[in-house]
Amino acid sequence: MHSVILLCVVSVTSRTQTGFRSFSSSSKKLAVIASKPDPVDSHYIKSNKFTFKNNTSLKMSNGNRPFRVSIEGNIGSGKSTLLKYFEKFSDVDACAEPVDEWRNVHGHNLLHLTYSDPKRWNFTFQHYVQLTRLQMQTKLTEKKVQLFERSLQNNRYCFVEMARSKGFLSQHEFLAQCEWYDWIENNMDIGLDLIVYLRSCPKTVHERMLKRNRPEENCVPLEYLESLHKSYEHWLSANPPAPVLVLDVNQDLGQVQSLYTQNAPYILGKMPFTPESVLV
């Protein structure tokens, strides 16, 4: 039976807009910090209770490897901004998504090819992404904390699942990708200690994506971001591989950075993340 853990939604809205509620699940009481949603975007807010695998605990890393944190979120949700904020700490190894490698595989831009013709190129792209994420997630470091911009787990249970559901991967391509991931999970230490989910409205991140104007993203429609949002919500509400801290990033940068500061003890592994220890 799976354990039940809180999905903490943290916001910096005023106390008149923030409610504190208690939930009971089995013999546990779960606390949720819930911000008042924007009426326009309220249909994007999902369940606040997450389960995670029995082999994942709330304790910090055992010291044999760094405390591993995956920063998850939609395109344009602010993952790179969060990494830049925390890379100033001397004990943090901030690992950005290897986008430049995806753009130049011996002269071939796999990222552009995938966005322009996903049915033709998605399997090739996912195959290469899994390799680069494996290299990133298993690299040696003397730092105490590793922050990853997305993870192998995200690639398998969010992007690959979405690609299958949209018909970008055939059944045999999907199974081949899953077989490789299963071997990695069973034979290598890719475990995570915490997931920080930057929850955002697809319309908001679509506007941000258009403003930053990456050439490969010019052909990415709002519908794709909506599908990715749903894939994230499904993955993290079904069976995430680690405790999940959710930050509401539908706010301005100053407010979001306040969330970084408030939750730094969890993100840096200095305090175990539990429902009873939420910073407000």
Domain ranges of the chain: 3-267
pLDDT at 272: 86
Q: Could you read off the pLDDT of 218-266 as tens digits, one per residue?
A: 888 999 999 999 999 999 988 899 999 999 999 888 899 999 999 999 9
pLDDT at 148: 98
- Which residues partner with 70 through β-bridges? 148, 195
Q: Which helix (H) or strand (E) holds 92?
A: strand 92-95
Stronger pLDDT, 276 or 156, i.e. the higher one? 156
pTM: 0.77
Confidence of residue 9 (pLDDT cuts 50, 70, 90): low
pLDDT at 5: 39
Q: Is the pLDDT of residue 11 over 70?
A: no
Answer whether 192's CB lies under 8 Å from 133's CB: no
CATH topology of domain 3-267: Rossmann fold (3.40.50)
Q: Could you read off the pLDDT of 19-47 as tens digits, one per residue?
A: 222 223 332 222 233 333 333 333 333 33
pLDDT at 226: 96
Distance (Å, whole) CA 254 – CA 211: 18
**Mean residue pLDDT across the chain:** 80
Name the token pair of 134.
Answer: 């494996």
Q: Is the pLDDT of residue 53 over 80?
A: no
Distance (Å, whole) CA 139 – CA 158: 23
pLDDT at 279: 37
Local structure of 43: helix, strand or coil: helix
Q: Of 114, 141, 140, nearest to 125 (Cα)?
A: 114
Q: Are strands 3-6 and 49-52 parallel, antiparallel or unpaired?
A: antiparallel
| pLDDT-above-90 percentage for the chain | 65
pLDDT at 7: 52
Distance (Å, whole) CA 169 – CA 175: 9
The answer to whether residue 87 is catalytic is no
Q: Is the pLDDT of residue 62 over 70?
A: no
Which whole number is the average pLDDT over 192-207? 95
pLDDT at 80: 94
Distance (Å, whole) CA 233 – CA 198: 11
Q: Is the pLDDT of residue 278 over 70?
A: no
DSSP codes of every residue in the chain: --EEEE-EEE----TTTEEEEEEEETTEEEEEEEEPPPTTTGGG---SEEEE-TT--SSPP-SSS-EEEEEEESTTSSHHHHHHHHTTSTTEEEE---HHHHH-BTTB-HHHHHHH-HHHHHHHHHHHHHHHHHHHHT---SSSEEEEES-HHHIIIIIIHHHHHTTSS-HHHHHHHHHHHHHHHHHS----SEEEEEE--HHHHHHHHHHHT-GGGTT--HHHHHHHHHHHHHHHHH--SS-EEEEE-SS-HHHHHHHHHHHHHHHTTSS---TT----
Confidence of residue 63 (pLDDT cuts 50, 70, 90): low
Name the token pair of 216.
Answer: 């490969």
Which whole number is the average pLDDT over 154-177? 97
Q: Is the pLDDT of residue 116 over 70?
A: yes
Q: Which residue has the tokens 């071997």?
A: 183
Name the token pair of 114.
Answer: 């995938």
pLDDT at 238: 84
pLDDT at 42: 32
Per annotation, catalytic residue among 72, 97, 149, 173: 149
Cβ atoms < 10 Å from Cβ of 253: 10
